[in-house]
Structure 1
Amino acid sequence: MMPDPEGKQQKQVVVHGGICALGPQARVQASIQITDGYITGILSEPPLSPNDRSSCTAIDLSGFLIMPGLINAHDHLEFALFPRLADPPYRNYIEWGTDIHNKFPDIIAKHRAVPKDLRVWWGGIRNLLCGVTTVSHHNPLRAEMQREDFPVRVIQEYGWGHSLALGGDLIAARSATPEGRAFLVHACEGVDEVARVELLGFDRLGLLDDHTVLVHGLAIDHDGVALMRERNASLIVCPSSNNFLFEKLPDMSVLGAIDNVALGNDSPLTAEGDLLDEIRFAIRLCGISSLDAYRMVTENPALILRLENGEGAIRVSGIADLIAFRDTGCDAAHRLQALSMVDVEFVMLGGRVQLASEAVLERLPLSEKHGLEPVWIDGTIRWLRTPVKELLQKTEEALGKGELRLSGKQIRIPA
């Protein structure tokens, strides 16, 4: 620890030994110096001297590739424990919402019996496990999401409406958006005329501008893309949700012409899995290159969502949000093609270790191990800086013993 000019102790951390992804294709062996949660240096990799070791917290990630934490541009955190619910195909999101309440009321009631504050925590854990460090939550901000010990960083300043059909007074919602922040709204989610004409509806209301972020956009055609570009609006696509509900994939040969496009995971109600599952799905089925996929979960959402602390990159003065997985010699973009939750062995949020595999746990200094709790997820054990034992006990009181699933994966406390 070193004192700052006001005499306060600053936490010094050095992450060393690993290969740093300074971009989708840039690899360099370097030490990352961190002071009070921000990166203060990216240095060529010299061995740490005894003096260095004694003056800071040293974390050895030799053999690992270190990436910036991922940004999930669209999620509904309170639905993290729900299973996929639908009897597809549908023509639009209105049909889907009506249908699941008619056909699956018992399942919905069972999961709503879990208090929302618990469900929100599991939403944070679901993102943490797959290397997400920043989440855009599409619903009102809750007190849990503002806590310093929440598993991931939830964007705090934004505006939102549900949709043109179900969003109430969208003009008032847009007016309530903090100055200079993104306004998020579901749009064109479907395959019929109802979905297609929504874009013009937003434009007629004066809601399509450079702060507008439309989510899904499945029915946007060439004319819609031209309008989006003219208004400088942004788009977040959620391919696996669209495919599940409407049996149609976003046409990225059309939508890719929009200047700013990011990838969102959506909730387990409709998504295939977590954000890494979504990335693999998008690369495999939507013709999205690994290079574009990398940017759609790092620099693009950072720009679209007006993030200001260097999220989505490893750079000096940026927030120290880092993830790591075994180095195979490939660049970060190429590695995304096959990554899944089991590959994520280290997550750091603002300079603090939030997740560690058992192998990484053995490397951590005692100060970084303190507060980590083990959780078993479909045969994989991870140590998380969350009260997983308490959360599981309270959740099972409502759902039943052994009934908790996170993106379809069984969760329990290891023996």
Structure 2
Amino acid sequence: MPEPAAWKYDKIIKKMFNEPAPERVFLGRVIPCVDNTVIEDGWVHIKDGKIAAAGPRPAALPAGVEVVDTGGKTLLPGLINSHAHLNWDGIHELSRQSMDDPRPISVFKAAGNMLKCLRAGVTLVRDLGFHDLNLFTKQAVEQGIFPGPRVLVSGAGIIQTGGHTYWVCREATGADEMRRAVREQVRGGADLIKIMACHDTLEFTDAELEAVIDESHRNRLPITAHATYDACIRRVAEFGVDCIEHGGSMTDETIQILLDRKLPIVTTFSALVLQADPEIGRAFGIPEWKIIERQHAVADKKRFDGLVRAARAGVPIVFGTDAGSPAVEHDSIAPELGFMVEVGVCRDNLDALRSITSRAAKLSKLDDRIGTLEAGKCADLIVVDGKPDSDLNALKRVQMTFIDGRRMH
């Protein structure tokens, strides 16, 4: 593995935030998110920050252990947002926010957004930049400086000079500079690398794309690509990225490449869905013409045909909201999941719930630790007032959030 980031060498005597993780038993409906199982009278037993047992309620509970009877509420694994930007707050003009926000204000925004995540039941955020402040967000959480979800970070997104979102990413030109850009993120403690592979046109020369992917893999980091239409998706898949962000139109040939290479897609519908809501859009400064445009886009389900065909063919579809982008707050979960079912990239509500739990954990290679309610996994657990398997809007009513058995909300 690469050398650890400098802050990893810090000796922490006492964390500022370090909640206790007492042994507890939870009673309620249990959705383990392993398959379609729903246990109406279930339990989850947590001990030493791990799940000791989960399943149907036993005849006798462990003696001397705190029992949390949820009164029929639903127990779920902690939710995972696999595409978010903690330093953004959802205002319309991202470019000016990115260029003008003083770095301390950007840090405060990340802190506030992490609290929103915890209230929404999100226990892991995959922060895809775009600037390098997310490296410090990760440090703050891991060192107990600020309470937050687990955080996986890309550091600064890497783009060609003058490329898409040049105003906030790490620009680079030429293969050697691409390698340097990757190494800078690795030095800062990045968990993965993010590239912007297209906007209206394809970006990066072949030599640049080959270099940025090779350097990521040489450092044993996965690399993910912003790729929104067929030519770009096919190109980055053939060059060897590990994941597609957003996705879009795709031919059958491109879908087959994704299947052959076992590449997932993190779909992000929330910007379209939420900007199409006039009340939400206006609150974030979305222009009226864009609200109307978004309404037409949401209504035209044919535009999502490539993603639907990919999902039906077996390409793993993972939940992400692009949180922080215009009109998308970090505690907005249900609209994305609902649209995933409505448009057809998820078969039903239970499939959608797996996209934000077990499949998301697998994407980040953490499925041996989190993503399901199974014995031996970390005690990342939420309590929801309602039945999200029949009504995803129940996820707007998260009552409790636990990470490693510590109550965070």
Length-normalised TM-score, structure 1: 0.65
Residues 322, 328 of structure 2: 8 Å contact kept? no
What whole-Å deviation, never above 9, does each CA across 1:145-176 have from its counterpart, x for those lacking one?
A: 23244310112663222312488754444323
**1:250 has 2:300 as partner:** no
Residues 21, 65 of structure 1: 8 Å contact kept? yes
User: What corresponds to 1:354 in structure 2?
Assistant: 408
User: What corresponds to 1:21 in structure 2?
Assistant: 31
User: What corresponds to 1:333 in structure 2?
Assistant: 389
Separation (CA, whole Å) in 1 of partners of 2:380 and 2:226: 28
Q: For residues 29 and 178 of structure 1, do their structure 2 counterparts lie closer, same or farther at Cα, with a shift above 3 Å needed?
A: farther
User: What corresponds to 1:158 in structure 2?
Assistant: 191
User: What corresponds to 2:126 in structure 1?
Assistant: 136
Offset of residue 203 of structure 1:
4.5
Aligned residue pairs, count: 308
Separation (CA, whole Å) in 1 of partners of 2:79 and 2:223: 21
What whole-Å deviation, never above 9, does each CA across 1:338-385 have from its counterpart, x for those lacking one?
A: 2343x1111111101111xxxxxxxxxxxxxxxxxxxxxxxxxxxxxx
**1:281 has 2:274 as partner:** no
Secondary structure of 1:303's counterpart equals helix
Q: For residues 350 and 127 of structure 1, do their structure 2 counterparts lie closer, same or farther at Cα, with a shift above 3 Å needed?
A: same
Q: For residues 262 and 183 of structure 1, do their structure 2 counterparts lie closer, same or farther at Cα, with a shift above 3 Å needed?
A: same
Separation (CA, whole Å) in 2 of partners of 1:110 and 1:277: 30
Secondary structure of 2:402's counterpart equals strand
User: What corresponds to 1:187 in structure 2?
Assistant: 227
What whole-Å deviation, never above 9, does each CA across 1:173-194 have from its counterpart, x for those lacking one?
A: 4323476653222112xxxxxx
Q: For residues 178 and 262 of structure 1, do their structure 2 counterparts lie closer, same or farther at Cα, with a shift above 3 Å needed?
A: farther
Residues 216, 223 of structure 2: 8 Å contact kept? no
What whole-Å deviation, never above 9, does each CA across 1:299-336 have from its counterpart, x for those lacking one?
A: 11111221144322100000111111224xx5x42232
Quick one: which of 232, 242, 259 aligns to 1:198?
Answer: 232
What whole-Å deviation, never above 9, does each CA across 1:85-141 have from its counterpart, x for those lacking one?
A: 4xxxxxxxxxxxxxx64xxx4x66665565322122123223222211111111254
Q: Mean Cα displacement is larger for which, 255-264 or 280-289? A: 280-289
User: What corresponds to 1:409 in structure 2?
Assistant: none
Name the % identity: 19
User: What corresponds to 1:293 in structure 2?
Assistant: 352
Separation (CA, whole Å) in 2 of partners of 1:300 and 1:27: 20
Residues 187, 198 of structure 1: 8 Å contact kept? yes
Gaps of 5+ in 1: 1-9, 86-99, 189-194, 356-415
Question: Map of 1:170-249 to 2, 5 A cutoff?
Answer: 170-174=209-213, 175-177=215-217, 181-188=221-228, 195-203=229-237, 206-208=239-241, 212-241=242-271, 247=297
Question: Map of 1:386-405 to 2, 5 A cutoff?
Answer: none
User: What corresponds to 1:145 in structure 2?
Assistant: 138
Residues 87, 324 of structure 2: 8 Å contact kept? no
Residues 15, 61 of structure 1: 8 Å contact kept? no
Separation (CA, whole Å) in 1 of partners of 2:272 and 2:363: 21
Residues 233, 244 of structure 2: 8 Å contact kept? no
Secondary structure of 1:283's counterpart equals helix
Quick one: which of 362, 365, 380 aligns to 1:306?
Answer: 365
Length-normalised TM-score, structure 2: 0.66
Separation (CA, whole Å) in 1 of partners of 2:69 and 2:211: 50
Separation (CA, whole Å) in 2 of partners of 1:119 and 1:170: 32
Secondary structure of 1:123's counterpart equals helix
Q: For residues 179 and 308 of structure 1, do their structure 2 counterparts lie closer, same or farther at Cα, with a shift above 3 Å needed?
A: farther
Secondary structure of 1:29's counterpart equals strand
Q: For residues 309 and 118 of structure 1, do their structure 2 counterparts lie closer, same or farther at Cα, with a shift above 3 Å needed?
A: farther
Question: Map of 1:69-148 to 2, 5 A cutoff?
Answer: 69-79=78-88, 81-85=89-93, 101=95, 105=96, 111=101, 115-139=105-129, 140=132, 141-146=134-139, 147-148=141-142
Offset of residue 282 of structure 1:
2.5
User: What corresponds to 1:4 in structure 2?
Assistant: none
Separation (CA, whole Å) in 1 of partners of 2:128 and 2:25: 33
Separation (CA, whole Å) in 1 of partners of 2:403 and 2:218: 25
Offset of residue 236 of structure 1:
0.7
User: What corresponds to 1:262 in structure 2?
Assistant: 318
Secondary structure of 2:91's counterpart equals coil
